[in-house]
């Protein structure tokens, strides 16, 4: 039985045949092929990347149930600034690094996503997530991808 090409494969072949630049095709649910939307759509497989997912970890002697609880409970002076301040972003990165360092299984799952784009598809948050239109900054997903790159360098060296 011969497998039929996917829509993207067909368009790439066709664009090469007629001599035009290949185009990305948007999949009907609003994402590109190969993206991981870990808040809603791909929650079953990649829900552990969601900030509310319970992965207990210790930070400065205290036990936290999730990154979201840690964000809401630590250093209120950082959170008095706008949530998109550089202090807030670096603080969240520090918490994520601590959490994934203490749980090697979740760290390996993060590394196993390889080069796929991680999207925090939260419609209510256009800074940390993708926002209602999907065009948000996805800062949380970008932090996870930066952490994945950092961890994969440690594994290969």
What is the DSSP secondary structure assignment for residue 47, as one 8-state letter?
G
Helices of type H across the chain: 7-18, 43-46, 67-73, 76-79, 86-102, 104-112, 139-156
Q: Which of 19-33, 88-102, 120-134 has the lowest mean pLDDT?
A: 19-33
**Annotated domain spans of the chain:** 1-33, 35-156
Q: How far apart are CA 16 and CA 22, in angstroms?
A: 7
Contact status, residue 89 vs residue 97, Cβ threshold 8 Å: no
Q: Which tens digit of pLDDT belongs to each residue from 67-83?
A: 989 988 876 666 666 76
pLDDT of residue 88 exceeding 50, the answer is yes
Query: Does the domain made of 35-156 have the CATH classification 1.10.357.40?
Result: yes
pLDDT at 38 over 60: yes
Distance between CA 63 and CA 80 in Å, rounded? 23
Task: Determine the Cα–Cα distance for residues 54 and 87; give it in Å rounded to an integer.
Answer: 24
């Amino acid at each position: 039985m011969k497998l039929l090409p996917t829509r993207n494969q067909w368009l790439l072949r066709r664009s090469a045949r007629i001599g035009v630049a290949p185009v990305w095709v948007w999949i009907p649910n609003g994402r590109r092929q190969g993206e991981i939307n870990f808040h809603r759509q791909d929650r079953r497989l990649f829900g552990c990347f969601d900030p509310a997912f319970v992965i207990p970890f210790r930070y400065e002697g205290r036990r936290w149930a999730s990154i979201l609880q840690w964000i809401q409970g630590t250093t209120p002076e950082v959170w008095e600034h706008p949530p998109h301040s550089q202090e807030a972003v670096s603080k969240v990165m520090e918490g994520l690094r601590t959490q994934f360092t203490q749980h090697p299984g979740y760290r390996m799952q993060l590394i196993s996503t390889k080069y796929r784009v991680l999207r925090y598809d939260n419609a209510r948050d256009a800074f940390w997530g993708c926002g209602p239109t999907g065009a948000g900054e996805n800062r949380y997903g970008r932090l996870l991808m930066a952490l994945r790159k950092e961890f994969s360098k440690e594994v290969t060296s």
